[in-house]
A and B are shown apart, each in its own frame.
Chain A
Amino acid sequence: MAKWCCYILFLALKLGFIKPVLGEYPTPPYYTVTIANEGVDRLRSVGPHTEIKILSKGRVLEIQDYLTTGPKSYSEVKAYGITLRQGSSSITQWMEKHHWKIHEGSLMVCLQDKMLFTISSSKGRADISGPCTFIAEATSNGGYKFITLSGNPYIETKEKKLRMPAGRLVLVLGEQESLGNAYDVDIMLLLQSSLLFNAFEEPPPTMKKIGLAVFAQQKRMKGKYNALIGDATSDKNLQMWVLDNQESSN
């Protein structure tokens, strides 16, 4: 009798008729929230309505869920050897198993295994081959900036495929779903000033690989430009802030 009860309970759980008493039942595939401070919410469409729920550590996300962070909020979710850290004032959406969309803000993604991962924005979309670590940041033109922090992945859009060694930045363009010019950026400076990196108490899981990437870049460094890369206001314009002259040029 007890054996049959267990079978029935297992089937009911499997088919989603019963949810565990504590929290939501993690129907695979799912992401688990590992870090979330105040101001991290999950938005889920339930019929014609949108359900908003405050996220805390241990909660799970389901496909099509939105993950939002307030002005001073940060979150980290994990699944399948993938770690995603979301910056403040960001809105992202889990689209498919290995596909996230950035509506606004920034995301750091650590891919520990070999896999194909897709990042899209309102207009841009590209596939990234892991293992690697990268930051994606939405830009004004509807595309996003892609910066590799470790590994040597390929980034591929409909029109172009590019090898992206650590420290390289490329713009995933909005209108043409293509790739813009690539730049090598100072990884050390970026990490020094990045809250996606420093606002968390624990280092990202690919920390050792990032460390090696910094080492390798320092060994190859010949010089630095007196400029900082800014926003991409359109597919043709990239803001470049010239530091010494205190002026910007598009």
Chain B
Amino acid sequence: MKFRALSIFSLLIGGFQLSAQSITDAQRLQQTKIEVQSTKQINQAASQALKQGKQPTGQTSSNINASDTGMQRPVFLNTSNLSYFASITNSINRSANPLQKDTDLDIDKHGGHSFSWSKSLNLGALTNPIDINSVMLTIIAGGGWTDVEHLHAGTRELDGSPIPDGFFKTMDSQSASAYLLFMMQHESGWNYSVGSNLVWVNDPATKNETYRSFSPTVSASKPIQFPFDIVGVFKLDGGVNFSDTDPNTSQDRDEQDNWNISASLGFNYELWDIILSPQYTYSRLAYLTDNPNVAVNYNRVDYTNTLSLGANYNLSDNMSLGLNYSFEQSDSNKPSDLVKKYKNWNAGANVGISVNF
């Protein structure tokens, strides 16, 4: 059995990918100087050294003796107890079945595809990790604003009736959110989080609030090391959603109340500086509304399988480009005219700017 330090650390640090190779004892004991001439080469040298079982020495044109201690690169750390972050994301998405009406992806049968343009701003603050025995606790508080505008211009039929121009505009929304999250990184590698989320949704045309929700959530995730330097993350999520829906758009104010659980397995793999992240998610959502007379969602449970693939490329430390694709298949225990089984795919591109300070 070989001890693979990099594997363990890459597992502990979410999203931090490092190469991890099994190496023989004989290889490990070879000590070879490696020329390191630029900043970028340090990490490459270390990674290469471990792969080859050699010891990088941080050698420049002068001589540094090989040391078992390892390379000591000075860093500067955040000295305050709080850090702040902000990000702006612009994305454009195409949805094959925006009304979620049919299992057939023929666009003529379900009102046509839609293009949407989403702009979001996120702000937040987090504490430095607080050491509590075998747990590092991080408290994160933040908020955001998202504007979704549907750009679909075509007219198609839906269930035999023509869809008027601008129909998809009624799906436009502006939402604000706020959250508080307690994240606990356990020494076993599991990461637990408990938090709550508040969301307000407005209709941009009328400026009226159409939806509001409060959602306590819990989650647990564990990174898993796979061959070929692939890091997977298994995640379990659960939450309760207490909502208040505009009575003009719904039969019952608490019609959208639900509790939900989901399990996902995602992977991260770096290929030519592009981070590929395929993921599978299974989710179960049970509506909580207790009014059998008016609520469409009374006793309704939906099951959704989602396969997705993301590709992200960092243009700089603060700017990234991304492509994403997802396919979802949904089923319900209570199919009706309003609630249907459906299939859908979404594809999109996004550009994001983020800063940490």
Contacts and interface: CB of A to CB of B under 8 A. Distances in A.
Interface of A: 37, 71-72, 74, 87-88, 90, 105-106, 135, 137, 145, 147, 152, 167, 169, 183-186, 188-203, 207-209, 211-212, 214-231, 239, 241-244, 246-248
A207 B55 CA distance: 21
Nearest to B6: A192
Given A208-B187, A241-B62, A246 B70 contact: no
A181 to B, nearest CB: 11
B78 A229 contact: no
A105 B68 contact: yes
Interface string B130-173: 01001010100000000000000000000000000000000000
Among A217, A221, A227, A228, the most chain B Cβ lie within 10 Å of the Cβ of A228
Contact of A191 (B9, B36, B45, B76): B9
Interface residues of B, number: 58
Contact of B69 (A167, A196, A216, A222): A196
Contacts of B25: 37, 199, 201
Contact of B39 (A87, A226, A231): A226
A229 B5 contact: no
A231 B72 CA distance: 11
B76 A184 contact: yes
Given A88-B68, A201-B1, A208-B188, 10 more contacts: A106-B67, A190-B72, A191-B5, A201-B2, A211-B12, A219-B138, A221-B77, A228-B64, A229-B73, A243-B38
A219 B129 contact: yes
A184 B75 contact: yes
12 contacts: A72-B29, A87-B69, A105-B68, A185-B73, A192-B49, A193-B55, A193-B71, A195-B29, A198-B3, A215-B12, A243-B60, A248-B62
Contacts of B65: 231
Contacts of B3: 198, 200-203
Contacts of B36: 228, 243
Given A198-B28, A218-B16, A243-B38, A209 B187 contact: yes
B201 interface: no
A106 B65 CA distance: 13
